[in-house]
Structure 1
Amino acid sequence: MSYNFLKKEKAPKILVEAYKLLGVTELLGKDNNPVILSWADAVGLKKQYTADEIPWCGLFMAYVCHMAGKAFPVNPLWARNWLNYGTPQTTAMLGDVLVFTRGTGGHVGIYVGEDVKCYHVLGGNQGDKVSIVRIQKVRCIGIRRTKWSVSQPDSVRVIQLGANGVISDNEA
């Protein structure tokens, strides 16, 4: 599936910042990607986040919020804490934060579109990198929208996409 439309999209700032990081990958073994570790430093979590083998979807989200000038929830490393971000929504739209179940834990990422069964989600620690994956809608436990300084951008809307690609069942 091609997501090239996002390059031209006047999307919410958190999505713009997230898109810039596509492809950042954690390092296997004892080595750590210094880029990912720098995110922890930038958002004040250097003591809590010390290795890229620690789940980092929440760190990624905190960093893109930071870069977009948006506040993020307390203890953002815990994916389910993103249920406290922004304002709750019933319909997911471009740039919304989506929170999913993942075993006994969770996963968090950004809506870029949807098909009949899945949301297409840009997030960190998806296959050990920043990527866009399809996640079943039934796993979504929260849709949260950024609080806007002035008004919601016109680009915040439902994006219908084709049902192409593998469905993720474990984002680590």
Structure 2
Amino acid sequence: MPETSATPVIPVNKIPQAYQWLAKEPGPKMLLEALSHFGELEAKGPDNNPDITGWAKEIGGSVADVYKADEIPWCGLFMAICAKRAGYDLPKDPLWALNWSTFGTSQPTAMLGDVLTFIRKTNTGAKAGHVSMYVGEDEAAYHVLGGNQSDCVCITRIDKSRLYAIRRAAFKIGQPANVRQVFLNATGKLSNNEA
């Protein structure tokens, strides 16, 4: 039985042609919520995007205390707002991307709407993470929808060798029938650093 609730409005005109099919997918709810923010941009310079900083206020608690500006990496914040609005509990300290490796249930194979965490290197060479949502894959990379990818909510390709964890929401009504592997053409460059 599929999840049910009001479907967020998806800005189809902002989604690249290769991914337009996503606007017709009936779920999962987290994916639909993520798609509704497609194209949301981080503000340049000292200003902040009020939508992004508003997500932290909506989540509240320590997230609102920590997250005051959109120049702070916000991939975890984006995943948190999608999960919260879809009705799921957040992992401890959701701003830390790798903490999403405790969300939902572990999966051996990535499928539509799954939460993927990746390892990345910072400018200083330190190990950090990135969290995003699976929309497909090609032979070399996962195609992922996430926040703070080129300073916006968009789809990018991330090398499969960087994968840290695959997690699936613990669906409350039942897994949507469209949760499946999606094979896509290898179009676009690989992301090297999502910070």
TM over 0.5: yes
Matches within 5 A, 1:34-113: 34-44=50-60, 45-103=63-121, 104-113=127-136
Q: Deviations over 1:14-59 (max 9, x none)?
A: 0000000011111111100000000000111221100000000000
Q: TM-score, normalised by structure 2?
A: 0.87
- Please identify runs of 4+ aligned residues in structure 1 that moved more than 6 A: none
Match of 2:189 among 149, 166, 170: 166
1:22 aligns to what? 38
Structure 1, unmatched stretches of 5+, are none
**1:83 is aligned with what amino acid?**
S
Q: Which has the larger radius of gyration?
A: 2
- Which residue matches 2:169? 146
Measured against aligned partners, the alpha-carbon deviations of 1:102-130 in whole angstroms (never above 9, x if no partner) come to 11100000000000010000000000000
C-alpha RMSD of matched pairs (Å): 0.8
TM-score (norm: length of structure 1): 0.98
Identity %: 53
CA separation in 1, counterparts of 2:184 and 2:90?
Answer: 28
Helix, strand or coil: the match of 1:153? coil
